[in-house]
């Protein structure tokens, strides 16, 4: 069973497809690994192995060739997304005992493509904030040093991957929630273009800020899961039809970028100097492979104000929860809701205009460069007791999301972006490299990320056993 845990997802699916292993073998291996390590990190607080085995047996009743592209590969779902019959809390005391009556569209799509859901991964309350803790399940700890944050909001998913409690994982991203935990935990997380992955709409049916996406231990495994996630669903009005692209084949294509841009901070300081230096050293390794690397970035100077406004707008629909359960909401969520409901029409219009301008400038930028590289997160993993990063390189932040601008800026441009491992700090903590491609350019992004992953030689650094730290 321990041998299975250390295999790649692509190798597991190959075994499942050939009948060399079964989905039940995979679930047995995961249940054993969860029992062994999750007590030290608290990544998968809700498990549903009985449901998973029932689903696996139904899948196994089908011929091998009819079990879908995942062929029975187990997948944990982030605890913001409903799974029928499973405790689904959104990390909030308000919903701490809620059992989901039906599965989200994303879960139904994954299960139809051969995925087997066996757990819910931990998340901050309503996904708010890049440190995974809540009043229902407590803190999720970084396995590289259990005194540090795993980031968020897909922190449970990232930790499950890093510790071998998952081969692939579902996550979601509005202001970096896939990318930040991937950076902190030494795994891979991709924010796709809006519409690539269908999901049940919330109160706004045409939102392009929050997206669902894949996480894994390496780029190929992520592309495998992404292939099973993409596709049009009529219940999601912005979902895009599949054009037949195999993203796993794209990742394996051997494509090499000719010219890339790299930036220490996207013109949106601050960034911790050690983190920036680790990322910039990657440029030299790419140049040694014949890639033209230039320091450049698009003009994203409006990103801070724009992101603050549009994020707050997305929280305004939570006003009924604020009025009914204010005493159960964490202060950061209260602040975001109140900011959202106080916005004026002029403020919203200004933010939308700013976003349109940044979108246009990003598209123009990619007429010159194949890819854009920069730090994923402005700091290395910080003490888990800190609710959020309050200061970096002498700059103090006023809110719990100020320090996330380097990822939320990319969100605003609708560009797909991926975080891959880039190196380690002097304290042996992971640092992520954010790679950005033109809108709807996931095939290019995954091919480029696989190339950079090979150049950096960090595609197989997990799974690890949790490491205690001070």
Long-range residue pairs from 316-319, CB within 8 A, at least 24 positions apart, any chain: 316/340, 316/341, 316/343, 317/202, 317/203, 317/204, 318/126
- Prior bond of 91 cis (ω within 30°): no
Known active-site residue 172: no
- Token pair for 375: 């730090």
Torsion of CA 79, 80, 82, 87, to 10 degrees: 40
| Closest residue by Cα to residue 168 from 188, 148, 195 | 188
Cβ neighbours, 10 Å, residue 466:
21
Known active-site residue 242: no
CB crowding 327-360: b at 16 or more within 10 Å, else e: eebbebbbbbbebbeeeeeebbeebeebbebbbe
74-78 and 116-121 beta bridge pairing? parallel
Known active-site residue 177: yes
Do 70 and 110 touch, CB atoms closer than 8 A? yes
Instruction: Report the C-alpha gap between 34 and 39 in whole angstroms.
Output: 8
- Token pair for 162: 């890093």
Choose the catalytic residue: 88, 103, 172, 177.
177
Contacts of 360 (CB under 8 A, 6+ apart): none
Cβ neighbours, 10 Å, residue 254:
9
Instruction: Report the C-alpha gap between 66 and 85 in whole angstroms.
Output: 25
CA 102 to chain centre: 23
SS3 180: helix
Cβ neighbours, 10 Å, residue 422:
26
Choose the catalytic residue: 103, 121, 149, 153.
153
Phi, psi of 142 (to 5 degrees): -75, 125
**Helices marked H in 6-48 — which ranges?**
9-18, 23-41
CA 23 to chain centre: 25
Active site residue ranges: 78, 153, 177
């Amino acid at each position: 069973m321990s041998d299975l845990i250390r295999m790649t997802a692509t190798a597991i699916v190959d075994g499942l497809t050939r009948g060399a292993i079964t989905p039940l073998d995979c679930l047995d291996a995961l249940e054993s690994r969860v029992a062994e390590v999750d007590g030290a990190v608290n990544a998968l607080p809700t498990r549903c192995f009985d449901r998973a085995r029932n689903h696996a047996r139904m899948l196994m009743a089908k011929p091998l060739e009819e079990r879908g592209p995942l062929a029975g590969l187990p997948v944990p779902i982030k605890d913001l997304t409903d799974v029928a019959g499973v405790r689904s809390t959104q990390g909030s005391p308000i919903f701490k005992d809620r059992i989901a009556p039906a599965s989200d569209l994303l879960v139904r799509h994954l299960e139809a493509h051969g995925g087997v859901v066996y757990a819910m991964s931990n998340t901050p309350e309503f996904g708010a904030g890049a440190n995974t803790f809540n009043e229902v399940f407590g803190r999720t700890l970084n396995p590289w040093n259990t005194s540090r944050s795993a980031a968020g909001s897909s922190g449970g998913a990232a930790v499950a991957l890093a510790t071998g409690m998952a081969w692939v994982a579902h996550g979601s991203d509005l202001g970096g929630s896939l990318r930040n935990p991937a950076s902190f935990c030494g795994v891979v997380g991709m924010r796709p273009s809006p519409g690539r992955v269908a999901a049940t709409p919330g109160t706004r049916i045409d939102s392009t800020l929050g997206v669902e996406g894949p996480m894994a231990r390496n780029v190929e495994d992520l592309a495998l899961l992404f292939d099973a996630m993409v596709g049009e669903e009529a219940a999601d009005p912005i979902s895009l039809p599949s054009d037949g692209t195999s993203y796993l084949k794209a990742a394996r294509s051997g494509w090499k970028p000719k010219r890339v841009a790299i930036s220490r901070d996207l013109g949106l300081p601050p960034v911790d100097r050690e983190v920036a230096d680790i990322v910039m050293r990657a440029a030299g390794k790419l140049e040694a492979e014949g890639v033209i690397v230039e320091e450049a970035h698009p003009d994203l100077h409006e990103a801070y104000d724009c992101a603050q406004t549009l994020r707050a707008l997305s929280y305004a629909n939570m006003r009924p929860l604020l009025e009914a359960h204010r005493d159960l909401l964490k202060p950061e969520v209260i602040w975001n809701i109140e900011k959202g409901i106080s916005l004026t029409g002029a403020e919203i219009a200004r933010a939308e205009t700013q976003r349109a301008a940044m979108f246009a400038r990003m598209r123009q930028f990619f007429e010159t460069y194949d890819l854009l590289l920069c730090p994923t997160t402005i700091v290395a993993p910080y003490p888990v007791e800190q609710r959020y990063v309050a200061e970096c390189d002498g700059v103090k932040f006023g809110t719990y999301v100020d320090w996330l601008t380097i990822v939320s800026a990319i969100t605003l441009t609708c560009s797909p972006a991926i975080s891959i491992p880039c190196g380690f700090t002097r304290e042996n903590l992971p640092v992520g490299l954010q790679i950005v491609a033109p809108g709807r350019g996931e095939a290019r992004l995954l091919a480029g990320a696989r190339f950079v992953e090979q150049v950096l030689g960090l595609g197989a650094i997990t799974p690890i056993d949790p490491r205690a730290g001070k």
